[in-house]
């Protein structure tokens, strides 16, 4: 078998099913998809080993069909623990030029404040809803050369931290590197057609930039990086 170094695989997790899909990048279509029932959701510790064995078995089935080892993938989770939380942060400067470093600093500060207060939630998506610069409201990054006061109105899309940790443990046991974890409850809002409402396709859409107001969080590979030393690629498009 060949190794898959590209992230062509998407996994979907609900309370009673797991989906595995292979994305053909040439056609942007999902092929060789399969799904299987799980006895209970991941919050049930007693069933973790059963779910793990089912996942390993179905990964092997798909690997044989594709003649390809599954080494990594993106994961979409549909969960009742989904929360969308609004959060505002402001700062005052002395006629500072507005650039991406200002926005990065504010978002980092907002995430740190949020994580200090909400110990049981993990932020999966960060959306900038509004920029308020010197009392003027902008829906996209404003073209302001100088400013004194800025407020960011953010939205944090979160899932339960224990659930995220169990998902990470599950795929770690399968020797699969998780590239991104997506909230399906959030991602499905950006689908154009009802028939496209599948966990894997919705994840693909949101990771392809369906919401232009979302800030893409990219973990730095340096071991010295802390939780808040993340790279925000929001302005690179």
- Mean pLDDT, range 160-166, rounded to an integer: 95
Whether the predicted pLDDT of 43 surpasses 80: no
Helix (H, G, I), strand (E, B) or coil at 61: helix
Give the model confidence (pLDDT) of 21-36 as tens digits.
Answer: 999 888 888 888 999 9
CB 14 within 8 Å of CB 199: yes
Look at residues 6, 150, 15, 155 and name the one whose alpha carbon lies nearest to residue 80. 15
- Mean pLDDT, range 122-135, rounded to an integer: 96
- Strand 9-13 with 72-77, pairing: parallel
Confidence of residue 225 (pLDDT cuts 50, 70, 90): very low
Ranked by mean pLDDT, the top range of 40-44, 119-123, 189-193, 226-230 is 119-123
Express as a percent the part of the chain with pLDDT over 70.
86
Enter the tokens of residue 73.
């993938």
pLDDT at 46 (0 to 100): 78
What predicted TM-score, i.e. pTM, was given to this entire model? 0.88
Cα 167 to its chain centre, rounded Å, is 13
H or E element, residue 205 = helix 199-207
Enumerate domains of the chain plus CATH numbers: 2-79+161-214 (3.30.420.40), 83-160+227-232 (3.30.1490.110)
Point out the least confidently predicted range of 65-74, 114-123, 139-148: 139-148
Give the model confidence (pLDDT) of 84-106 as tens digits.
Answer: 999 999 999 888 888 888 999 99
- Mean pLDDT, range 144-158, rounded to an integer: 92
pLDDT at 194 (0 to 100): 65
């Amino acid at each position: 078998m060949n190794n898959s170094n590209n992230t062509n695989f998407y996994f979907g997790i609900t309370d009673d099913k797991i989906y595995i899909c292979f994305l053909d990048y040439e056609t942007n279509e999902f092929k060789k998809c399969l799904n299987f029932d799980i006895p209970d959701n991941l919050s049930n510790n007693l069933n973790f080993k059963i779910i793990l064995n089912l996942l390993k078995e179905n990964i092997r089935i798909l690997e044989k069909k594709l003649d390809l080892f599954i080494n990594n993938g993106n994961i979409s989770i549909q969960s009742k623990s989904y929360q969308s939380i609004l959060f505002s942060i402001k700062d005052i400067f002395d006629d500072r030029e507005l650039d991406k470093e200002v926005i990065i600093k504010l978002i980092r500060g907002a995430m740190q404040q949020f994580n200090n207060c909400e110990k049981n939630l993990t932020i999966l998506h960060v959306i900038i809803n509004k920029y308020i610069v010197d009392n003027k409201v902008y829906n996209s990054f404003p073209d302001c050369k100088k400013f004194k006061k800025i407020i960011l109105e953010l939205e944090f899309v979160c899932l339960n931290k224990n659930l995220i940790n169990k998902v990470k443990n599950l795929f770690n046991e399968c020797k699969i590197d998780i590239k991104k974890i997506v909230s399906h409850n959030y991602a499905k809002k950006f689908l154009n057609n009802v028939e496209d409402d599948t966990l894997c396709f919705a994840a693909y859409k949101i990771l392809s930039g369906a919401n232009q107001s979302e800030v893409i969080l990219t973990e730095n590979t340096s071991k010295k990086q802390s939780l808040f030393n993340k790279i925000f690629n929001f302005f690179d498009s």
